[in-house]
């Protein structure tokens, strides 16, 4: 953000941000500043320009058609996923994911826990355990925020495990 004479100009510095969260924060804070400027009548006395890009949400990684191996209602929450599958799909531990149950149509949002590599574990924990049965086929999807230009160039990672939830 730069103050130049009577002009307030916002420069899009979001591309240098290391995290999506900082990029979203930058856009949010810029929007709040304009609202405040307008409410205290600064806006009529200066030229406010925005040069930031819109962010869209796009799928960035997917584990396609894995079988639920466990459902643990008494665990704190989340989904435990074989670490090899997380790596293949570019999904981080603790990342928010959407789980689509092909057997009953349920869609669940939770966060990931890294399971033992090569185990094939897909375990829904806590309340999400009520939405699946062991043996259900699910798709696990992670999304990311990016500019439309980044989205056009971005290549999502998709893992296609076998019937035992293992990579070939």
Residue 137 confidence (pLDDT)? 98
Residue 90 confidence (pLDDT)? 98
- Asked whether the CA dihedral 70, 73, 76, 79 is positive or negative, the reply is positive
Residue 168 confidence (pLDDT)? 86
Q: φ and ψ at 36, to 5 degrees?
A: -65, -45
**What structural domains and CATH numbers belong to the chain?**
2-49 (no CATH), 56-159 (2.40.40.20)
- Rounded distance between C-alpha atoms, residue 67 and residue 21, angstroms: 32
pLDDT per position in the chain (168 positions), as tens? 434 344 444 444 445 455 565 566 666 666 666 556 555 555 454 455 545 568 999 999 999 999 999 999 999 879 999 999 999 999 999 999 999 999 999 999 999 999 999 999 999 999 999 999 999 999 999 999 999 999 999 999 999 999 999 998
Residue 77 confidence (pLDDT)? 79
Residue 7 confidence (pLDDT)? 44
Residue 163 confidence (pLDDT)? 96
Cα 159 to the chain's mean position, in Å?
A: 17
Is-contact 154 58, C-beta < 8 A? yes
Contacts of 73 (CB under 8 A, 6+ apart): 126, 127, 129, 130
Residue 54 confidence (pLDDT)? 86
By annotation, the residues acting in catalysis are: 78, 111
Residue 34 confidence (pLDDT)? 59
For the question of whether the overall pTM of this predicted structure is more than 0.85, the answer is no
Strand, helix or coil for residue 105: coil
Is-contact 75 126, C-beta < 8 A? yes
């Amino acid at each position: 953000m730069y103050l130049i004479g009577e002009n307030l100009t916002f420069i899009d510095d979001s591309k240098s941000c290391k995290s999506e969260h900082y990029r979203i924060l930058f856009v949010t804070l810029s929007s709040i500043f304009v609202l405040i400027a307008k409410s205290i009548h600064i806006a009529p006395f200066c030229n406010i320009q925005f040069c930031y890009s819109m962010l869209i949400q796009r799928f960035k990684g997917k584990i396609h058609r894995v079988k639920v191996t466990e459902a643990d209602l008494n665990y704190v929450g989340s989904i435990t996923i074989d670490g090899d599958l997380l790596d293949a799909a570019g999904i981080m531990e603790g990342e928010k994911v959407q789980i689509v149950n092909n057997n009953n149509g349920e869609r669940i949002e939770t966060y990931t826990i890294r399971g033992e590599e090569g185990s094939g574990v897909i375990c829904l924990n806590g309340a999400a355990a009520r939405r699946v049965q062991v043996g259900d086929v699910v798709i696990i999807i992670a999304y990311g925020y990016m500019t439309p230009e980044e989205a056009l160039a971005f290549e999502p990672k998709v893992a296609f495990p076998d019937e035992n939830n293992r990579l070939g």
